[in-house]
């Protein structure tokens, strides 16, 4: 039995060792504490970089998903952060992870929108780059989990596609847990209102959720990476070649890209960086299981099911897999600023941490691994 277990571990480790793993856990000089409070759980942040290339907004709940939304701003590309900023009173009633998105209407009016999920999905709006905000207001007679995990700008001006999931409990009031369903909702007025959601995929066997979308380099295709919540399969990907009207059947991605809450951005040279939580399927093993990790590769790697160039561990998480709902931003000089939560100190509540790097720096470290 011991030999079999060792063989399994070696097999899995080998699968995850291609691409090589870069470990930045101990590189404290890259890390910036965004927020930390003694005895208080702080988690699940998302970020937004403004067009000036240096102002970053960050929102996160005071608690595990559910909890009063906290709000901070950096004016120097994430090197330093403000104190917690004032927010509308009913942000204290948030029941789920908030998500930030930049939107423009057909006339070019810029807004920032923030979703808060479960039932019903609610929306707050800022029309002055986050200086002031509306209260959270109900979007429709429906709900969902991690709403909206992805918001995609479509080719028609002012049109946006939002993606989220539900497990049957929150889409309608008084629902019960069952099959997982991926939903899409369309806005035609620059993100102010959203149409009744349509189901993209539903299954009780494979629980696909937390959609993380990225557009192909030529702009013609959308890819959406998906967490598999039963942990019986690897993460999946779906594609659309018609701006989200129809989607391919889900297919598994390599173990190197398997995990939760994928957030993707392109680097200056066209390669993709994807931040996520490493959670291998049942029966497999990973040296970074439960940790905050990243993946570097190309869009073609995703399309063709390849392992990519290399993986990165940013920070070891000391409690299960409770970490890494990340925000990812790319500064004008090519610096990535990726921000998330985790149990970074053994026995203490999670807090919000940011890490900075360039792909050139990671390339040099990866070269030393060969």
Q: Which of 118, 131, 109 is nearest to 165 (CA)?
A: 118
Answer whether residue 64 shows pLDDT above 90.
Answer: yes
Q: Which residues pair with 356 in a beta bridge?
A: 337
Say which residue the tokens 């200086």 belong to.
131
**pLDDT tens profile 300-334:** 999 999 999 999 999 999 999 999 998 999 999 99
Share above pLDDT 70 across residues of the chain, in percent, rounded to a whole number: 95
CB 357 within 8 A of CB 24: yes
Concatenate the DSSP letters of all residues of 91-155 into one string: GGG--S--EEEEEE-TT--EEEEEEE-BSSPEEEEESSTTSS-PPPEE-SS--BEEEEEEEEE-S
pLDDT band at 3 (very low <50, low <70, confident <90, very high): very low
DSSP H/E element including 15: helix 2-16
Please list, residue by residue across 18-34, b when 16 or more beta carbons sit within 10 angstroms of its beta carbon and e when fewer do: ebebbbbbeeeeebbeb
Distance CA 163, CA 96 (A): 16
Q: Is the dihedral of CA 240, 269, 361, 43 positive or negative?
A: negative
pLDDT band at 18 (very low <50, low <70, confident <90, very high): low
Q: Is the dihedral of CA 7, 323, 325, 315 positive or negative?
A: negative
Using DSSP, state whether 237 is helix, strand or coil. Answer: strand
Q: Provide the CATH topology of domain 16-367.
A: Neuraminidase (2.120.10)
CA distances from 157 to 114, 188, 246 (A): 20, 8, 20
Share above pLDDT 90 across residues of the chain, in percent, rounded to a whole number: 93
**pLDDT tens profile 71-81:** 999 999 999 99
Distance CA 134, CA 231 (A): 39
Q: Is the dihedral of CA 217, 222, 227, 231 positive or negative?
A: negative
Concatenate the DSSP letters of all residues of 42-67 into one string: ----EEEE-TTSS-EEEEEESSSSSS
Residue 11's pLDDT is: 41
Per mean pLDDT, which range of 40-44, 63-67, 215-219 is the poorest? 63-67
What tokens were used for 346? 């053994």
Q: Where are the domains of the chain?
A: 16-367
CB 143 within 8 A of CB 159: no
pTM, to two decimals: 0.94
CB 147 within 8 A of CB 154: no
What tokens were used for 290? 């439960």
Q: How many CA atoms lie within 13 A of 105 on its CB side?
A: 10
Residue 370's pLDDT is: 57
Across the range 285-310, mean pLDDT stands at: 97
**pLDDT tens profile 183-209:** 999 999 999 999 999 999 999 999 999
């Amino acid at each position: 039995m011991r030999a079999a277990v060792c063989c399994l571990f070696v097999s899995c480790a080998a699968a995850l060792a291609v691409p090589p793993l870069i470990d930045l856990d101990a590189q404290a000089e890259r890390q910036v504490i965004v927020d930390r409070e003694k005895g208080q759980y702080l988690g699940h942040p998302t970020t937004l970089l403004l067009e000036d290339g240096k102002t970053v907004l960050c929102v996160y709940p005071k608690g595990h998903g559910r909890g009063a939304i906290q709000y901070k701003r950096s004016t120097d590309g994430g090197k330093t952060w403000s104190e917690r900023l004032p927010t509308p009173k009913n942000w204290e009633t948030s029941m789920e992870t908030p998500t930030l998105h930049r939107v423009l209407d057909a006339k070019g009016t810029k807004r920032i929108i923030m979703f808060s999920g479960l039932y019903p999905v609610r929306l707050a709006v800022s029309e002055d780059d986050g200086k002031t905000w509306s209260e959270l207001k109900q979007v429709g007679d429906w709900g969902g989990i991690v709403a909206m995990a992805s918001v995609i700008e479509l080719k028609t001006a002012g049109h946006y596609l939002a993606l989220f999931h539900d497990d049957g409990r929150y889409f309608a009031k008084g629902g019960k847990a069952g099959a997982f369903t991926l939903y899409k909702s369309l806005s035609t007025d620059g993100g102010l209102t959203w149409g009744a959601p349509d189901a993209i995929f539903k299954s009780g066997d494979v629980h696909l959720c937390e959609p993380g979308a990225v557009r192909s380099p030529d702009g013609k295709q959308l890819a959406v990476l998906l967490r598999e919540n039963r942990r019986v399969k690897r993460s999946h990907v779906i594609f659309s070649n018609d701006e989200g009207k129809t989607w391919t059947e889900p297919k598994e991605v390599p173990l190197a890209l398997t995990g939760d809450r994928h957030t993707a951005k392109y680097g200056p040279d066209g390669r993709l960086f994807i931040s996520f939580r490493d959670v291998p399927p049942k029966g497999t093993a990973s040296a970074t299981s439960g940790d905050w990790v990243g993946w570097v590769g190309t869009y073609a790697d995703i399309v063709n099911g390849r392992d990519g160039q290399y993986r990165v561990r940013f920070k070891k998480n000391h409690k299960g897999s409770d970490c890494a709902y990340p925000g990812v931003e790319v500064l004008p000089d090519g610096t990535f600023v990726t921000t998330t939560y985790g149990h970074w100190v053994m026995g203490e509540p999670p807090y919000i941490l940011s890490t900075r790097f360039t792909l050139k720096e990671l390339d040099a470290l990866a070269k030393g691994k060969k």
